[in-house]
Structure 1
Amino acid sequence: MVTTDPGPTTITALTTDTWPLFEALVDRHNGIFGGCWCIWFHPDCAERGQSAEGNRALKRRLVEEGVARAALVVREGEDGEEAIAWAEFGTPEQLPTIHHRTQYLKDLAAAGEVEPDYRITCIFVDKRYRRHGLVTTALQGALDMIAADGGGIVEGYPHIPRTDKPTSSSFLYNGTRSVYERAGFDFIRAKGQRNTVMRRTLAPVSSG
């Protein structure tokens, strides 16, 4: 699929003020994966997964509470600013529901490791602008926000794409191993069949 170069972009945090940008991006893609609104990784609750509109309301509430955090990649469109990618991040308490969690915790304990200070659980790019490096842009935006928030151990769970057949970008919801390696992450172990656990340590960076 031929896509468009987005041109210059900026990074902004997902907040109640920038919610309309995030909301418009999700709406353009029919609620993302079956109307999930990127709430799957948040703590389980009665509202989660009941409907696309329920997920929208839950995501909005979590943003208002400061639980749902993300770096938004923004470009200047014909009608003003528009978000064209995001990287979701948070603490393990904010994002406890990761894929292959049982295996993850078992391997974590066996290695004598502790859970990270932050994890990056989802990176999504507008289908109009894919293949223009926006996964890397969104990931770096999240890392910069984490560093400004005090840094620490950061985990990501990128994919290893299949070599026997093409993999749809829709299934690479957290980028690929090579993207994380270029961002300074180290491979720790496999998680599931085609997922990984990767880590890097970020020093705190003063926002002043």
Structure 2
Amino acid sequence: MSKVEIRPADSWADVESVFGPNGAYGGCWCMWFRATNAGFRAWPPAERRERLRALVESDAPAPGLVGYLDGAPAGWVALAPRADYTRLARSPVTKPLDPGETGVWAVTCFYVTRAGRGHGIPAALLREAVSYARAAGACVLEGYPTDTGRKLQVSERYHGWLSLFTGAGFTETARPTPTRPVVRITL
């Protein structure tokens, strides 16, 4: 049986190993939610990569967690205070119901390598994200999964899926669109 471990993303080499040479989803380097549309377009993939590297190597809390399968980096979940994600406040899907609410963290992205798929890494990452956010002082952790009623393609899983979140104790609190609920867990 394979062993899955989850640790804060504080090793750039491990994050880069998970994301591969193309930066996970089409060169995003998990910067999509940290920028406006114009800002994201202005950053070429190499700059996105360096921005994530700076976050990983900073003294601030890690910008995510890395999942390891038998010691090898195999998965990623992005989480941070909701205010760190510029795009969340602007999107009709993720716009906060109470923008002044404090202590809210958000889970925005998952990525699992081909070798890591089928080993429960997303569930392990999300369980540890709850603990990590709590330890960092968050009061609430929020997510924005996809819920289409059909099996999701790999490229559609980066937000997570509803049963992943409800299995970790999250509750649906809003559904701004038919396929995109907002889920939360009080910490």
| Percent identical residues | 25
Cα deviation digits, residues 84-109 of structure 1 (max 9, x gap): 1111100122123139714543x715
Equivalent in the alignment of 1:56: 49
SS of 2:115's equivalent in the other structure is helix
Equivalent in the alignment of 2:97: 108
Does 1:13 find its partner at 2:8? yes
Cα deviation digits, residues 103-145 of structure 1 (max 9, x gap): 543x715xx9836611110111112222321110111111111
Aligned 1:1-208 pairs, distance under 5 A: 7-15=2-10, 18-27=11-20, 30-44=22-36, 48-49=40-41, 50-65=43-58, 66=60, 69-76=63-70, 81-98=71-88, 101-102=91-92, 104-105=94-95, 108=97, 114=101, 117-163=104-150, 166-202=151-187
SS of 1:41's equivalent in the other structure is helix
Contact 2:123–2:164, Cα closer than 8 Å, also in 1: yes
Q: Normalised by the size of structure 1, how large is the TM-score?
A: 0.77
Alpha-carbon distance between aligned partners in 2 of 1:68 and 1:40, rounded to the nearest angstrom: 17
Contact 1:100–1:192, Cα closer than 8 Å, also in 2: no
Contact 1:124–1:174, Cα closer than 8 Å, also in 2: no
Query: Whose helix proportion is higher, 1 or 2?
Result: 2
Cα deviation digits, residues 68-91 of structure 1 (max 9, x gap): 611111133xxxx42111111001
Q: Normalised by the size of structure 2, how large is the TM-score?
A: 0.85
Contact 1:71–1:87, Cα closer than 8 Å, also in 2: yes
| Structure 1 unmatched ranges of 5 or more | 203-208
Residues 69/117 of structure 1: CA separation in 2 closer, same or farther (3 Å cut): same
Contact 2:18–2:112, Cα closer than 8 Å, also in 1: no
Divergent runs of 4+, >4 A: 44-47
Contact 2:12–2:57, Cα closer than 8 Å, also in 1: no
Deviates more, 1:51-60 or 1:39-48: 39-48
SS of 1:128's equivalent in the other structure is coil
Cα deviation digits, residues 137-170 of structure 1 (max 9, x gap): 111111111121124111111110343xx43122
Residues 195/99 of structure 1: CA separation in 2 closer, same or farther (3 Å cut): farther
| Structure 2 unmatched ranges of 5 or more | none
SS of 2:33's equivalent in the other structure is coil
Alignment coverage as a number of residue pairs:
185
SS of 1:129's equivalent in the other structure is coil
User: Considering only aligned residues, what root-mean-square deviation do their CA atoms show, in Å?
Assistant: 2.6
Which has more radius of gyration? 1
